[in-house]
Chain A
Amino acid sequence: MALYFLKRLLLSVLVVILVVIALFLLTYAIPGDPARVALGPRANPELIAEFRARMGLDQSLATQLYNFFVSLLQGDLGRDAISGEPVLNTVLSQFPDTLYLVLGSVLVALVPGVILGILSARYRGGIIDRISSVLSVSVMSVPAFVIAIYLLLVFSIQLGWFPAIGAGTGFWDRLHRLVLPSLALGLAWIGYIARILRASILEEMNEGHVRTARAFGLSENRIMYDYVLRIAVLPMITVLGIGIGQMLSSAVFAEVVFGRPGIGKLVYDAIISRNYPIVTGTVLVTTIFFVVVNLGADLLVAWLNPKVRHDLSR
């Protein structure tokens, strides 16, 4: 078990290092001289040379990569090309708004997903199962930004139930404005969750200990909630880990459509204004967050799985 944890952790660190190298090389490949971009068109050659020396741009690729890693470890992601603020501060200041959005989306996905998953496993082949399976496939395939725009059109513009722009102030206002963007991002994951839960419940139902419980005459409810679900939720946690990462990055659509602040809006604006340090910084922070969430989900699943835990205690 400890070995598994260690291996999984090491793998995550390696993945992050690879991603950092890839991002660095990509930044390097951005067309145009970063010094010129940062200093503007009217900079003279001396200024440019001075800037290049200061930023270490005149050194070899390997040295630059090394410097990039060193400053990264010190939490230095460079400076905003326009405001001059540290990139990390800007990204972290926008992070909470996106996190609320992701949290809302997870709720949107989880509650109906779990209910549908349980019901369709329990009444397999029945009407709920069939409706749920068609529904799952349908919501899974439609892109989030299309859903976002249709929600905006129907519920904000036509019906006027929800404000169209902004994250709001105060708890209830914020919650109110969170509804549509959360729906836009979370809807697709209802399908994934319902499916994976249904499949793992059915698989678990077939296990020996569950059949024994049934033979002893335990009620179906008891079997489902006390025996089956405990194990059957585990694959769902893994899927949810992946889902959180994808929601985090699809947040750009919900934030642009609903005019919300957040890292998606930040990176979008940064691309438009060619503020490359912000783009790289946001991608890096998001990726690290994604890797950490997945690592957490995997470790949690391993920890919660009695089979694994049993092996550990032996």
Chain B
Amino acid sequence: MTSPADSPTPGAAPKPDPAGDRPAKRRGAFGRLISDPLGMLGVVLIALTVLAALCAGMTSWDPIALNPLARFQPASSEHWLGTDNLGRDLFTRVLYGARIALTVSIGATVIAMVIGVAAGLIAGYGPRWLDNVMLLIFDAMKSIPTVMLALMLVTVTGPSLYAVLLVVVLVNAPAYARMARTQTLAIRRAEFIDAEQALGAGQARIMLRHVLPNIVGPILIVAAMDIPVVVGIEAGLSFLGLGVRPPTPSWGSILFDGFSYIRESAWPVIAGGLPIVITTLGFTFLGEALRDTFDPKLGGGN
């Protein structure tokens, strides 16, 4: 056996907690989250994005109205982030863009989560052949590179917000489905489920009372990590002119307008890209902190 002086290694049995650690353990989940500097930073960055979305409409500029005389103005006390190629106030457009980004990313993630979990429960609970067929379908969906799948779908549906939603659901749902399936299979063999069944519990009751509560934690963590990906997909498609239609301000389209005139002014590009960076970093940091707080085992690869 190894000596007790060995450096701590991952996977080693947890040592009994010294009494001094107890108060720290009693803090609520949110407290632990906040005490992680990255988690705290994540919360702040997300709060900033939410604040931006709430404040849209409070500036004195119209996000869509053209003002050709005021093209490519640098940042000033009047235009906080300058103006774009059509003379629109960039700060105002960024605030409205936050609304699009947040609604699309959170909405799409929730839809993907619900559909994925439902599919996973069916796969895990259904007959063996159905499970195999669904696994194959999940695998096939995962095998088309994300951007290619998005481009293909948008070609069929035409550029729109719904196309973006559809892409996100197709790309992200399989991951939730797999998690729900694995958990279902694991719990199906548990003895207390046999007991439940012997007592006459129906399939629906077992799913709702025993399977779902067990996957809520890990699934929420994955959802938090998915949101930045979705923000990227929405902005990326809008950047390519395949997402939100102009003149609706999306961070991606702001960035593309800026890119087209990048030699005239750097401000539109800065204004379009910075919020994407802030939001994706915010949700990623939060997701990481959530994972460290609730589920240390989930770390690493899959």
Given contacts A141-B284, A199-B300, A249-B145, contact A26 B2 (CB under 8 A): no
Contacting residues, chain A, for B269 (C-beta < 8 A):
149-150, 153
- Kindly state whether residue B250 has any CB partner on chain A within 8 Å: no
A15, A134, A276: the one within 8 Å of B155 (CB):
A276
Contacting residues, chain A, for B284 (C-beta < 8 A):
137-138, 140-141
18 contacts between A and B (CB under 8 A): A14-B136, A15-B143, A16-B143, A19-B140, A30-B155, A138-B284, A142-B281, A146-B276, A149-B255, A249-B145, A257-B259, A268-B240, A271-B154, A271-B242, A279-B152, A287-B144, A287-B145, A291-B143
Given contacts A246-B145, A283-B144, contact A267 B266 (CB under 8 A): no
Q: What residue in chain A is nearest B7 (Cβ atoms)?
A: A124
Name the distance in Å between B239's Cβ and chain A's nearest Cβ: 6
Name the distance in Å between A265's Cβ and chain B's nearest Cβ: 11
- Kindly state whether residue B185 has any CB partner on chain A within 8 Å: no
- Kindly state whether residue A120 has any CB partner on chain B within 8 Å: no
Contacting residues, chain B, for A203 (C-beta < 8 A):
10-11
Given contacts A142-B280, A145-B239, contact A157 B156 (CB under 8 A): no
Find out whether the CB atom of A202 lies under 8 angstroms from the CB atom of B301: no
Given contacts A14-B136, A252-B147, contact A153 B262 (CB under 8 A): yes
Contacting residues, chain A, for B151 (C-beta < 8 A):
252, 267-268, 271, 279, 283
- Kindly state whether residue B38 has any CB partner on chain A within 8 Å: yes
A153 to B273, CA, bound (A): 11
- Kindly state whether residue A23 has any CB partner on chain B within 8 Å: yes
- Kindly state whether residue A31 has any CB partner on chain B within 8 Å: yes
Find out whether the CB atom of B232 lies under 8 angstroms from the CB atom of A143: yes
A283 to B144, CA, bound (A): 8
- Kindly state whether residue B247 has any CB partner on chain A within 8 Å: no
Given contacts A206-B10, A290-B143, contact A153 B276 (CB under 8 A): no
Contacting residues, chain B, for A279 (C-beta < 8 A):
151-152, 155
- Kindly state whether residue B146 has any CB partner on chain A within 8 Å: yes
Q: What residue in chain B is nearest A248 (Cβ atoms)?
A: B145
Find out whether the CB atom of B301 lies under 8 angstroms from the CB atom of A199: yes
Interface SS majority for chain B: helix
B38, B266, B288, B301: the one within 8 Å of A235 (CB):
B301
Q: What residue in chain B is nearest A18 (Cβ atoms)?
A: B140
Q: Write out, one digit per residue, whether chain B residues 151-195 have a CB within 8 A of any chain A CB (1) or not (0).
A: 111111010000000000000000000000000000000000000
Contacting residues, chain A, for B155 (C-beta < 8 A):
26, 30, 271, 276, 279
Find out whether the CB atom of B147 lies under 8 angstroms from the CB atom of A250: yes
- Kindly state whether residue A302 has any CB partner on chain B within 8 Å: no
Q: What residue in chain A is nearest B38 (Cβ atoms)?
A: A134
- Kindly state whether residue B148 has any CB partner on chain A within 8 Å: yes
Name the distance in Å between B243's Cβ and chain A's nearest Cβ: 12
Q: Write out, one digit per residue, whether chain A residues 198-236 have a CB within 8 A of any chain B CB (1) or not (0).
A: 011011011000010000000000000000000000010
Name the distance in Å between B70's Cβ and chain A's nearest Cβ: 22
- Kindly state whether residue B285 has any CB partner on chain A within 8 Å: yes
Contacting residues, chain A, for B147 (C-beta < 8 A):
246, 249-250, 252-253
- Kindly state whether residue B63 has any CB partner on chain A within 8 Å: no
A177 to B136, CA, bound (A): 40
Q: Write out, one digit per residue, whether chain B residues 264-279 have a CB within 8 A of any chain A CB (1) or not (0).
A: 0010011001001100
- Kindly state whether residue B236 has any CB partner on chain A within 8 Å: yes
Name the distance in Å between A161's Cβ and chain B's nearest Cβ: 15
Find out whether the CB atom of A196 lies under 8 angstroms from the CB atom of B301: yes
- Kindly state whether residue B9 has any CB partner on chain A within 8 Å: yes
Find out whether the CB atom of A26 lies under 8 angstroms from the CB atom of B139: no
Given pairs A15-B143, A18-B136, 12 additional interface contacts (CB within 8 A): A18-B140, A146-B255, A149-B273, A152-B259, A206-B9, A249-B147, A252-B147, A253-B147, A267-B148, A267-B151, A279-B152, A283-B152
- Kindly state whether residue B25 has any CB partner on chain A within 8 Å: no
A26 to B144, CA, bound (A): 14
Name the distance in Å between A49's Cβ and chain B's nearest Cβ: 25
Contacting residues, chain A, for B145 (C-beta < 8 A):
245-246, 248-249, 286-287, 290
Given contacts A142-B280, A145-B236, A283-B144, contact A195 B300 (CB under 8 A): yes
Q: Write out, one digit per residue, whether chain B residues 86-101 have a CB within 8 A of any chain A CB (1) or not (0).
A: 0000000000000000
A15 to B140, CA, bound (A): 5
Name the distance in Å between A162's Cβ and chain B's nearest Cβ: 14
Q: What residue in chain A is nearest B153 (Cβ atoms)?
A: A26
Contacting residues, chain B, for A149 (C-beta < 8 A):
255, 258-259, 262, 269, 273
A206 to B149, CA, bound (A): 41
Contacting residues, chain B, for A11 (C-beta < 8 A):
136, 139
Find out whether the CB atom of B273 lies under 8 angstroms from the CB atom of A26: no
Find out whether the CB atom of B285 lies under 8 angstroms from the CB atom of A137: yes
Name the distance in Å between B265's Cβ and chain A's nearest Cβ: 11
Find out whether the CB atom of A152 lies under 8 angstroms from the CB atom of B301: no
- Kindly state whether residue A22 has any CB partner on chain B within 8 Å: yes
Name the distance in Å between B160's Cβ and chain A's nearest Cβ: 12
